């Protein structure tokens, strides 16, 4: 039984396999010929593997930059990292996390079939991270055994269906009604960025629509632009850190290291873009089979990096503004006597970059800059507020990075401290009401078909 559970967990925590399975089932429902069945199943898998490979290149080049900044500017604190805290938590909560992950995916499918929330969450590794968070905070709330797994699975499955619906109207505008939803647990931050951008910006003056003159024609290539910007950032940080520290990072000279790291980062971004094109080219059409035959009107909720291609320049601008916001947030936290949250380059790139895309498409350049900056400040404060709850569990000096993880951890942790286990049952009841509300109030529309999706 344990081996079967481990095997299923590996399958459901791998977005590439999930996308391949979903595409295969959809193509079977459409009665596609064998050649289309083969290519239509493999391309989403290959596309996500390409996206993951690109993300791996990005992460491998960003991680040293964080330590270089820490050493160069004399900053000491906590760097939020999802993978790090999950690896620690798995040692004590492995079975609970795996069980919550599997149950959560099943509940997500049931909700997509029988409720108005038709979103199928395909970003398996983020589901795995949230399952780990729920297992940790529910254990802290003195739940155990089957009760912990059932409540955690329900929370995960419900949020997997509800979170894409909350901002689907924004997602439609960002993707030009591309038939996909946001399947990433930084979603609250992306929707908030879109909301702020609509207030402060003008979507008619966006980075996505900016025409670049021939004189600066090389900047039209996002890969080149990203490479130039990242080389400059690496050079500044490496020179501030000094050659003595840099010798502990690399045997190359700081200048050569900076140039190669910046350009390799740009290559990683280019690989991500190509992977996204493969995914969208076959997954969305294949998903129509599931939408027509098995789960009517269902929509795939996909990883945040899939949205990068809708405004590539805004990804870079959002990343930089988010990182600056993270620095400002860090100094504010220090002034308030709270734990210093050092900006993690990985969350600020993926979350800040995605926030930049949403803000740019909904509020233009000004909206992109302001909303991403505010989001960066929140990416400092939310992990800091979550840190005490995780510290009580023995995960000192480690915290989750992304928006939804922090919000859920803070809500459950704080409410349990005030009201006890009753608060957790009330949260579950509220989610049930949210899931059932569209049946009773016809003005509440959470989903249409893939060409006409309404806001929650």
Whether the predicted model's global pTM rises above the 0.85 cut: no
- Nearest residue to 299 (alpha-carbon basis) of 140, 199, 160: 160
Q: What is the pLDDT of residue 198?
A: 95
Q: What is the pLDDT of residue 366?
A: 96
pLDDT at 456 over 50: no
**Cα 119 from chain centre:** 16
Lookup result for tokens 């040692």: 91
Q: Would you state the structure tokens that stand for residue 89, as one six-digit string?
A: 């938590």
Q: 154-163, 296-305, 396-405: lowest mean pLDDT where?
A: 396-405
Q: What is the pLDDT of residue 266?
A: 86
Q: What is the pLDDT of residue 141?
A: 85
Task: Answer yes or no: are the C-beta atoms of 278 and 44 closer than 8 Å.
Answer: yes
Mean pLDDT of 144-152: 91
Q: Strands 299-302 and 181-182, how do they pair?
A: parallel
pLDDT in tens, 201-225: 898 989 887 765 565 555 556 678 7
Alpha helix locations (H) across 167-208?
A: 168-174, 187-200
Mean pLDDT of 25-41: 87
What contacts 131, CB < 8 A, 6 or more positions away?
A: 97, 98, 100, 101, 104, 152, 156
Q: Report residue 31: phi and psi, to 5°.
A: 55, 45
Mean pLDDT of 381-395: 76
- Nearest residue to 18 (alpha-carbon basis) of 143, 126, 146: 126
| Higher pLDDT among residues 445 and 432, named by residue | 432
The residue extents of the domains of the chain are 2-440
Q: What is the pLDDT of residue 449?
A: 46
Q: Would you state the structure tokens that stand for residue 348, as one six-digit string?
A: 């600020």
Q: What is the pLDDT of residue 455?
A: 36
Q: What is the pLDDT of residue 161?
A: 95
Distances (CA, A) of 364 to 257, 273, 357, 386: 35, 21, 9, 32
> Exposed, middle or buried, 303 (CB in 10 Å: 0-12/13-18/19+)?
buried
- Nearest residue to 343 (alpha-carbon basis) of 88, 78, 129, 72: 78
Mean pLDDT of 36-52: 87
Reduced to 3 states (helix: H, G, I; strand: E, B; else coil), residue 78 is: strand
pLDDT in tens, 342-381: 887 788 989 999 999 999 999 999 999 999 999 999 999 9
Q: Report residue 439: phi and psi, to 5°.
A: -70, -30
Tally the residues of the chain.
456
- What is the pLDDT of the chain when averaged over all its residues? 84
Task: Answer yes or no: are the C-beta atoms of 30 and 288 closer than 8 Å.
Answer: yes
pLDDT band at 148 (very low <50, low <70, confident <90, very high): very high
Q: Would you state the structure tokens that stand for residue 391, as one six-digit string?
A: 């510290």
pLDDT band at 454 (very low <50, low <70, confident <90, very high): very low
From edge to edge, which strands make up the β-sheet containing 119-121? Answer: 119-121, 299-302, 181-182
pLDDT band at 398 (very low <50, low <70, confident <90, very high): low
| Higher pLDDT among residues 368 and 288, named by residue | 368
pLDDT in tens, 419-444: 999 999 999 999 999 999 888 876 66
Alpha helix locations (H) across 115-144?
A: 124-140
């Amino acid at each position: 039984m344990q081996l079967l559970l481990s095997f299923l967990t590996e399958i459901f925590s791998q977005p590439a396999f999930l996308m391949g399975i979903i595409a295969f089932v959809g193509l079977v429902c459409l009665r596609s010929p064998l050649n289309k069945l083969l290519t239509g199943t493999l391309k989403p898998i290959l596309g996500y593997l390409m996206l993951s490979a690109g993300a791996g290149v990005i992460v491998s080049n960003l991680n040293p930059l964080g330590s270089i900044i820490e050493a160069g500017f004399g900053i000491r604190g906590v760097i939020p990292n999802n993978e790090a805290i999950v690896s620690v938590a798995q040692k004590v909560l492995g079975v609970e996390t795996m069980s919550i992950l599997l149950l959560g995916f099943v509940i997500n499918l049931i909700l997509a079939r029988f409720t108005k929330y038709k979103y199928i969450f395909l970003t398996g590794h983020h589901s795995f991270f949230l399952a780990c968070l729920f297992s940790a905070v529910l254990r802290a709330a003195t739940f155990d055994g089957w009760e912990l797994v059932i409540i955690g699975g329900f929370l995960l499955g419900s949020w997997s269906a509800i979170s894409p619906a909350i901002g689907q109207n924004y997602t439609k505008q960002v993707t030009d009604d591309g038939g996909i939803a946001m399947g990433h647990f930084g979603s609250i931050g992306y929707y908030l960025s879109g909301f702020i951008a609509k207030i402060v910006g003008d979507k008619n003056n966006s980075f996505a629509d900016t025409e670049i003159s021939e004189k600066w024609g090389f900047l039209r290539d996002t890969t080149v632009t990203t490479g130039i910007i990242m080389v400059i950032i690496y050079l500044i940080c490496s020179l501030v850190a000094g050659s003595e520290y840099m010798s502990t990072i690399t045997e190359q000279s700081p200048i050569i290291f900076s140039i190669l790291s910046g350009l390799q980062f740009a290559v990683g971004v280019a690989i991500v873009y190509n992977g996204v094109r493969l995914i969208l080219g076959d997954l969305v059409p294949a998903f129509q089979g599931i939408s027509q035959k098995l789960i009517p009107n269902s929509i795939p909720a996909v990883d945040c990096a899939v949205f990068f291609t809708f405004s590539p320049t805004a990804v870079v601008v959002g990343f930089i503004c988010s990182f600056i916001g993270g620095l400002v947030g860090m100094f504010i936290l220090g002034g308030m006597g709270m734990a210093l949250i050092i900006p993690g380059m990985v969350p600020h790139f993926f979350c800040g970059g995605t926030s930049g895309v949403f803000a740019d498409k909904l509020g233009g350049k000004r909206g992109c800059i302001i909303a991403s900056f505010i989001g960066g400040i929140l990416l400092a404060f939310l992990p800091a507020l979550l840190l005490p709850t995780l510290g009580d569990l023995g995960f000192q000096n480690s915290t989750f990075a992304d928006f939804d993880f922090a919000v859920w951890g803070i809500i459950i942790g704080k409410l349990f401290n005030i009201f006890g286990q009753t608060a957790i049952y009330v949260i579950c009841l509220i989610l049930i009401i949210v899931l059932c509300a569209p049946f009773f109030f016809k003005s509440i529309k959470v989903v249409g078909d893939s060409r006409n999706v309404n806001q929650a």
